[in-house]
């Protein structure tokens, strides 16, 4: 009988632990770099809970084990029934939300998720009490992905859960790829502080609520957006209640979510949704959004002088100086006589195949930036090149001119050339490495960043000579980005004067062929291998054209042999 009482007590104690403390909100705002991330927990039980030796832990990305060190919750002390505790990742929390967090945990830990991690509460016995996400599964493109967004516990939840149940969560995510989710709002980045409510939870009381889930407040839609759907959630809705929507002062009664608003470019819309019961408004929420319009600029200098976040049409012709093929962001460097800019096209909006030397006119997009570099994010495709075969001649400047503060943006993203420069390093060029170069008493950095070009593995020249590359910076640190062996005079390829430079385009390709051009005379033998190392093509390229129509979509390695010398390059088939 004593054993029976002991087992009964143990069962009761475990069930008292489970169901006590739950995670109610996790934030990863799109403006987190200037605000704050946090995790909110809540005592959902009817009794106070001592959090001594409790921990908040995080699994990063798709790792199967949590980080070695969690956030110790002991400093919270006893969390009263119905009370919240907020764990923030930095000291900005108080200035953003108007009150101090319970714990300031610092960066890199459980309160600092970038939206693809798993978060859980553990009690002193190392038992998982409550969890968000699936350990071992990266959150990207899943029902628990909230990058640049928010995860909020559904109001219907009444106890903790040590196994993730996506139906218990409302999730806002910048992506839109997740499927089969109950309350998932894709393409809905969230901004602090407006889109978060630390210290409160929709399930903490029986009060009727209505909250707009999309669009996010102050969202700006691309020009050409003809309609926007407004979606909302209601909780503890009284029987017989209805929703009215007010758009710029015009009210429509008895509507349901989502509600479509017809829009025009260059217009801002103010929207209020009211939950109405018996003729009285019992809950309300509002949002403001706008549809952008294009400002026409004649050249890149005028574009660069614009405002980040605004939309522009580049009416003049710009020329492609380089196409980045070693990442999936579809990046292209373009320039004209006035300046240069980096096209960052992670969405693949520019679906037309372009080549280095092509001209582009009528480019439309949004001005942005990353790490101090101006970027142009296309919003519409350009059907074809406005010209082809253009030669982009590097602008010869001195390092002294380049590093002059007044010239910080003058050369950015343009092809430039330094003469009579010396490398301080020896050996071979490696991917993602910085190399100090000098010209007299002036010095700057040459960074090798394009991993699929023949400069990787080439020898660093020991004598003074020229360097050609794209002018760049990273958080204020100026750099030149050489592309090929031919950009660095005196650099020898790994094959000692092998194929020093060749072009292979279009790359990526969906046309069934690629053109291969070498800077040497002689027949070119091409071998193509899949990522398992299987040879799928072995052919002589006699007409500068290789047929790849039989290849499935994917990534391949192309090995070119000419005059007993070889080089390799990555090929993407779409």
CATH number of the domain to which 525 belongs: 2.60.40.3080
Residues 53 and 113 occupy one common structural domain: yes
Domain of 408, CATH number, reads: 2.40.50.140
**pLDDT tens-digit profile of 408-429?**
788 999 999 999 999 999 988 9
Q: Give 172-210 pLDDT, tens digit per residue.
A: 999 878 999 999 999 999 999 999 999 999 887 666 788
Residue 385 lies in a domain: no
Do 43 and 155 share a structural domain? yes
pLDDT tens for residues 507-550? Answer: 888 999 998 887 777 788 888 887 666 889 999 988 888 999 99
- Residue 401 confidence (pLDDT) above 80: yes
Q: Where are the beta strands (DSSP E) in 173-266?
A: 184-185, 209-214, 219-221, 227-235, 242-247, 250-252, 259-262
Co-location of 525 and 557 in the same domain: yes
Tell me, yes or no, whether 478 and 519 share the same domain.
Answer: no
- pLDDT value for 386: 95
Among the three residues 432, 463, 487, which one is the final residue of a domain in this structure?
487
What pLDDT sits at residue 496?
42
Question: Tokens standing for 25?
Answer: 């909100």
Q: Give a yes or no: residue 384 inside a domain.
A: no
pLDDT of residue 406: 67
Does any domain span residue 301?
A: yes
Domain boundary among 291, 325, 347: 291
pLDDT at 320 over 90: yes
Query: Per-residue pLDDT for 19 more than 90?
Result: no
Residues 138 and 235 placed together within one structural domain of the fold: no
User: Is pLDDT at 89 greater than 50 in this prediction?
Assistant: yes
Instruction: Give yes or no: residues 345 and 365 share one domain.
Output: yes
- Residue ending a domain, choose from 336, 351, 378: 378
Distances (CA, A) of 128 to 17, 131, 246, 275: 10, 7, 45, 38
Residue percentage of the chain with pLDDT more than 70: 92
Q: Classify 487 as helix, strand or coil.
A: helix
Confidence of residue 280 (pLDDT cuts 50, 70, 90): confident
**Statement to judge: residues 247 and 305 lie in one domain:** no
Q: Per the domain annotation, does 265 fall within a domain?
A: yes
Question: Cα-atom radius of gyration of the chain, to the nearest Å?
Answer: 29
- Are residues 91 and 114 part of one domain? yes
Per residue in 209-264, pLDDT (tens digit) is: 888 989 999 999 999 999 999 999 887 788 789 999 999 999 999 999 999 999 99
Angle of CA points 431, 432, 436, to nearest 5°: 105
173 shares a domain with 254: no
Residue 387 lies in a domain: no
Average pLDDT score over the chain: 89
In a domain, 406, yes or no: yes
- Tally of structural domains, the chain: 5
Under the banding of pLDDT at 50, 70 and 90, the label for residue 490 is low
Residue 76 lies in a domain: yes
Say if residue 26's pLDDT is above 60: yes
Task: Look at residue 263 and tell me if it is in a domain.
Answer: yes
Same domain, 255 and 300: no
Question: What separation in angstroms does the CA of 59 have from each of 100, 138, 139, 147, 490?
Answer: 26, 9, 10, 15, 48
What secondary structure does DSSP assign to 167-182, as a single string?
A: GGEEEE-S-----S-S
pLDDT, position 314: 97
Mention every residue, 6+ apart, whose C-beta is less than 8 A from residue 179: none
Same domain? For 98 and 193 the reply is yes
The more confidently predicted of residues 453 and 264 is 264
Does residue 27 share a domain with residue 143? Answer: yes
Cα dist from 252 to 256, 260, 269, whole Å: 11, 12, 15
- Kindly report the pTM of this predicted structure: 0.54
Whichever domain contains 249, its CATH number is 2.60.40
Question: Residue 215: is the preceding peptide bond cis (ω within 30°)?
Answer: yes
Range of the domain at 559: 502-573
The pLDDT value recorded for residue 451 is 87
């Amino acid at each position: 009988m004593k054993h029976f009482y002991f087992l009964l007590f143990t069962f009761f104690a475990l069930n008292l632990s489970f169901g006590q403390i739950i995670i109610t909100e996790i934030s990863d705002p799109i403006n987190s770099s200037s605000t704050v991330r946090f995790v909110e927990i809540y005592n959902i039980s009817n009794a106070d809970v001592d959090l001594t030796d409790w921990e908040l832990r995080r699994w990063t990305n798709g790792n199967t084990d949590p980080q070695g060190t969690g956030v110790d919750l002991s400093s919270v002390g006893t969390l009263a029934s119905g009370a919240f505790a907020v764990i923030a990742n930095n000291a900005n929390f108080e200035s953003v939300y108007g009150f101090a967090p319970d714990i300031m945990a610092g960066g890199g830990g459980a309160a600092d998720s970038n939206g693809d991690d798993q978060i859980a509460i553990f009690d002193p016995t190392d038992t998982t009490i409550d969890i968000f996400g699936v350990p071992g599964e990266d959150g990207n493109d899943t029902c628990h992905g909230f990058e640049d967004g928010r995860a909020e516990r559904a109001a219907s939840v009444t106890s903790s859960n040590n196994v993730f149940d996506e139906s218990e969560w409302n999730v806002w995510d910048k992506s839109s790829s997740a499927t089969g989710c109950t309350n998932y709002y894709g393409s809905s980045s969230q901004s602090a502080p407006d889109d978060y409510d630390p210290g409160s939870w929709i399930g903490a009381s029986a009060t009727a609520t209505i909250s707009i889930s999309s669009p996010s407040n102050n969202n700006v839609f691309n020009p050409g957006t003809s309609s926007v759907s407004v979606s909302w959630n209601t909780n503890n809705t009284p029987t017989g209640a209805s929703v009215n929507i007010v758009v710029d002062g015009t009210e429509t009664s008895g509507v349901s979510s989502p509600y479509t608003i017809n829009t025009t470019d260059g217009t801002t819309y103010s929207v209020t949704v009211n939950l109405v019961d018996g003729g009285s408004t019992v809950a309300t929420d509002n949002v403001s959004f706008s549809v952008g319009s294009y400002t026409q600029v004649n050249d890149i200098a005028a574009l660069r002088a614009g405002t980040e976040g605004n939309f522009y049409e580049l009416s003049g012709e710009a020329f492609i100086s380089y196409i980045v093929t070693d990442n999936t962001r579809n990046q292209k460097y373009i320039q004209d006589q006035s300046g240069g800019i980096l096209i960052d096209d992670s969405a693949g909006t520019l679906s037309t195949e372009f080549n280095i030397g092509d001209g582009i006119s009528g480019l439309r997009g949004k001005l942005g930036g990353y790490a101090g570099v101006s970027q142009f994010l296309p919003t519409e495709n350009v059907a074809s090149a406005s010209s082809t075969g253009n030669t982009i001649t590097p602008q010869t400047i001195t390092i002294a001119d380049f590093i002059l503060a007044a010239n910080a943006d003058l050369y950015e993203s343009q092809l430039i050339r330094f003469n009579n420069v010396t490398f301080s390093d020896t050996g071979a060029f490696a991917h993602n490495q910085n190399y100090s170069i000098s010209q007299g008493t002036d010095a700057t950095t040459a960074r090798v960043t394009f991993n699929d070009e023949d400069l990787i593995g080439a020898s660093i020249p020991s004598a003074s000579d020229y360097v050609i590359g794209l002018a760049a910076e990273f958080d204020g640190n100026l750099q030149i980005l050489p592309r090929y062996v031919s950009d660095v005079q005196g650099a020898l390829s790994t094959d000692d004067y092998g194929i020093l430079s060749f072009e292979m385009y279009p790359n990526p390709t969906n046309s069934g062929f690629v053109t291969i051009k070498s800077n040497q005379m002689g027949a070119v033998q091409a071998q193509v291998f899949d990522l398992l190392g299987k040879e799928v093509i072995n052919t002589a390229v006699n007409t500068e054209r290789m047929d790849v129509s039989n290849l499935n979509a994917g990534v391949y390695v192309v090995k070119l042999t000419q005059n007993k010398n070889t080089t390799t390059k990555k090929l993407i088939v779409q």
